[in-house]
Amino acid sequence: DAGITQSPRHKVTETGTPVTLRCHQTENHRYMYWYRQDPGHGLRLIHYSYGVKDTDKGEVSDGYSVSRSKTEDFLLTLESATSSQTSVYFCAISGATGGGSGANVLTFGAGSRLTVL
Amino acid sequence: SQQGEEDPQALSIQEGENATMNCSYKTSINNLQWYRQNSGRGLVHLILIRSNEREKHSGRLRVTLDTSKKSSSLLITASRAADTASYFCATVTGTASKLTFGTGTRLQVTL
């Protein structure tokens, strides 16, 4: 997981509280992603960023917001956590898209396990 | 909805045997990738195959792609206990800069 760190790694919170997960990269990669992983669903994209202040929604974005004020940091916020957001959250980065040899190859962080009681 | 679906969901083999897992997808792709995930860890990229390629090799890994059937297979030859992990296919479509993952195959290699 060199070059990409997630914090916190584990968090337990209560329903209705705000939660922010942080992804920090030292690779100067343009693209950053937040996925959640749940049994039976694989990985599902929440939000992604293609540059500072440039973000877009993924397939499961409801209840989540993101911000990217610096190249190296991508924050995922749950404004009011619900039990359905209990999951393992993965950040990923990518330096290239399109037809190049490194096209869309992702490097993942170690994950953040969130439990909402 | 999932773009890729892996088959089988779980596979148990003995060390030294070959492991084959399959991925089917729904729409035309630019490339297809395979990732491995060890328990409790993040995913690690294994291999990428482009839509105009039919086969790729990397060490003990062999990936095939059949765009007419919208399917791919990952073959791990001479499996080792260390290959025990979950394996995911992921697709890139259109001009999107995002990957869509399947639900994964859980591989168990026993001694």
Per-position pLDDT tens, chain A of length 117:
469 999 999 999 999 999 999 999 999 999 999 999 998 888 999 999 999 999 999 999 999 999 999 999 999 999 999 999 999 999 999 986 655 555 689 999 999 999 999
Cα angle at B87 between A56 and B24, to 5 degrees? 75
B42 with A35: Cβ contact below 8 A: no
B88 contacts on A by Cβ (under 8 Å): 42-43
Chain A 65-94, CB below 8 Å of chain B: which residues? 90, 92, 94
Confidence of residue B1 (pLDDT cuts 50, 70, 90): very low
Residue B22 burial (C-beta neighbours within 10 Å; 0-12, 13-18, 19+): middle
CA distance B97 to chain A (A): 6
CA distance B55 to chain A (A): 16
A43 with B88: Cβ contact below 8 A: yes
Each residue of B46-67: pLDDT tens digit? 999 999 999 999 999 999 999 9
Which helix (H) or strand (E) is B44 found in, with range? strand B43-50
Each residue of B80-108: pLDDT tens digit? 999 999 999 999 887 667 889 999 999 99
A42 with B33: Cβ contact below 8 A: no
Closest in B88, B97, B101 to A31, CB measured: B97
Cα angle at A15 between A11 and A21, to 5 degrees? 35
Residue A18 preceded by cis peptide, ω within 30: no
Q: Mutation target for B interface from A23, A43, A45: give the one with most B CBs within 10 A.
A: A43
Closest in B1, B43, B100 to A108, CB measured: B43
